[in-house]
Structure 1
C-alpha cells in the first residue's frame, strides 16, 4: 500500500507540474497586465510601468518566467498581485472563507444525501421514492444562480420579514403536519396499519410542535432547556442503538440511555462555564465527550463491546451537539436585537456583519453571526450536491442489494438491519467515495456564482478577479491550492476504499 501511494503521489505531482506550466503560459499570454497603466493619465506613468515590469518580471518570456515563479512557490512565496499585495495572504484569506462553505455544505450533502438515498432504495417504487426522485432531479437540473437567488429572496429576506411578526398562518398549521406525516409514512413503510399509525403520530406531533412555536414566539426566543436536550438525546441514542447494534443488544441500549443521562447532568455546569469557552476548548470538549461515551459503552460491554462503544460515542457526540445548539439559542435574542442586526439575523451579503466584532467579544455572538451568514450559501451548494449524492447512493445500494452475498446472508437468517447496515451499506459507499473526492477539489475552487450572489470573498472570487485583470500570480495561487487539495483527497479516497471493503488491498 505504501509503495502504491508513493507512486500515486509522485505521478500526481508530475501532472500538477505539467498542468501548472500550461496554465501559467496561457494565463501570462491571455492579456496585458500593463493595460491599466498604459491608459493612465498619471505624470509618472512610465515609472509605474517600469516598476510593475520589474516587480512581476514581465521582461522575461512567459515560458521561462514560470520557472522563476516555481522556484519562489517551492520556497513558499507566491509573489504579489498587480496592486502589490501578497498573494500568500490573499490565498489564505480566500481559502479560509471557501473552506467554511466546503466543510458545511459537503458534510451536510453527504450525510443527508446518503440517508435519502438509502431510504428511497429501501422503499423502491413507493410514493416516497418517486417524490424524492423528482425533487432530486429538479434540484440537480436547476442552475446554481437560480437556486442562490431564490434562497436569498424567499428564505433570507422573506424569513427576516417574517421574524418581525412570526405568526404561522392557520393553513400552514394544517399543510405542514400533513406533508410531514406522509413523509414519515413513506420512510417507515410496512403494512397499511403501520403506515397509517406512523402518519397519525407524525402529523399530531408536528402540529403540536408548530402550535407551540406559534403561541410562544419561539422563533424569536428559542431554547431547548434541559428537558428538550434530554428527550432529544434519549431519542437519538435509541435510534443510534437500533441502527448500529439492533434491538437484541441490551448493553448497547443501556449505553445510549446512560450517555444521555450524563449529558443532562453536565447541562447546567456547561451553561455556567460557556461564556469562557472558545472554538478550541469547545472542540476539545467534543473529543472528551466522544471518549467518555465510548468508555461507557466499553464498560457495559456485552457480547460485542465495539458495538456498545460505538453507540456511546455517537450518542455522546449528538448529545453534546444538542447542548451546544441550546447555548446558541440562548444567544439568539441578544444577537437579533443588536443594533448591528436590527431584527434581521439571516445574512444575505458577506461572511460576517460589518463592525460587529468591534462591538462584542462574545464567542457565541460572533460564531452565531458567522453561522447565519453561512446558512444560505451552504444550503445553495448543498442542494446541488445533495441531488447527486442521493441518486448515486440509491443506485449503488440497489445494485449491492441484488448481489449473491446479500441473498446468502438473508438465506442464513441474518436480520434485515444487519444485511443493510453491515453488508450492503459499506459496499454501496465505495463508488460514492470517488464522487466526493472529486467534488472536494471542485468546491475548494470556489462556487463562483454562489459566492458572487452572496458577496463572499472566497477562492471563486479570487479566481474571477485574477482572470478579469490578467493577474497571473493570484491565478496560479488558486490553481496550486485547488490542485494540491484534489491530489490529497484522491489519495484519501484510495485509503477509504480499503477501510470500506477489506477485499480491496494494494500490496505492490
Structure 2
C-alpha cells in the first residue's frame, strides 16, 4: 500500500513538472514582452527597453529563467514561496491569492446552486414522471452535461459577459431577436406545463404573445437602459400607513383604517348597567328591575325585591329589629 501511494505521488509530481514546462514554453513563444515599448515614440525608448530587459531577465537563456522560477516554486515546500513579480512589479503570489479567492467563491456558489436546483428538479421530475416536464428536464440535463466544460465556459463568457455589456450600452432588442426569444420561451413553457395538445398550444400561444408584447413595450419605453416600476407596481408595493392606537384597528372596506372609535362590548355594557343598578337599589333600599341580588349579601328586603329580582334569584329577608 505504501509503495502504491509513493508511486502515485511520484507520477503526480512528474505530471505537474511536465505541465509547468509546457506552459512555460507556450508563454515565452506567445508574444514579445517588449512589443509596446518597441512601438513607442518616446525619446527614452531605448532606455525603457533596456530597463525592462534587465528587470525581467530577458538576456538570460530560457532554460536558466525556467530554472530560477522552479527554485522559487520549490521554496513552497518550506513555506517560503517566491513566484517572482510581473512586469509592473506586482507580486505574483498576492495576485494568485486574489484569483484563488475569487475562484473558490465562484465554485462554492455554483456548487450550492447546482445542488439546490438539481435536487428540486429531481423531485419534480419524479413526481411528474413520464410527463413533458420530465422529458424536457432530462433532455436539458443530458445536453448540458455532455457539453465540454471549456467550450461552454467560453460561450458563457462571450455571450453572457462581453456581448451583454455591449448590448446594454444600446439597450434595444431587434424584432427578430424578440420573436426568437418569445418562441423559445413559448416552447419551454408548453414543455414544462405539459397537458394535451390543445392545452400545449394555448400555453405556447399565450406565452409567445405575452413575451413579445412585453419586450416590444420595453423597447418603446427604453426600459433596458432606464428601468422603472410604473404606477401599477408602485401602487401594489406602496406601504399602508399604520392605524392610530387611539382609533379602531379594524381596516375599512376601502383598505384604510377606520376613523370611528371602538364601542364597548355588550358584556361590558351589561356589567356597567348592573353595577349602576345595584348601587342605586342599595341607596333606595330595594333592587331595580334587571339587577341581580345576592343571596347572602343582598341589602334588599323581601317586600321590595320580589318584582325586581330576575328568575332564579331570591332575596334574603332582613332580620327585624326589636
TM-score bracket, shorter-length normalisation: 0.3 to 0.5
**Higher Rg:** 2
**TM-score, with length taken from structure 1:** 0.30
Is the helix fraction higher in 1 or 2? Answer: 1
**TM-score, with length taken from structure 2:** 0.43
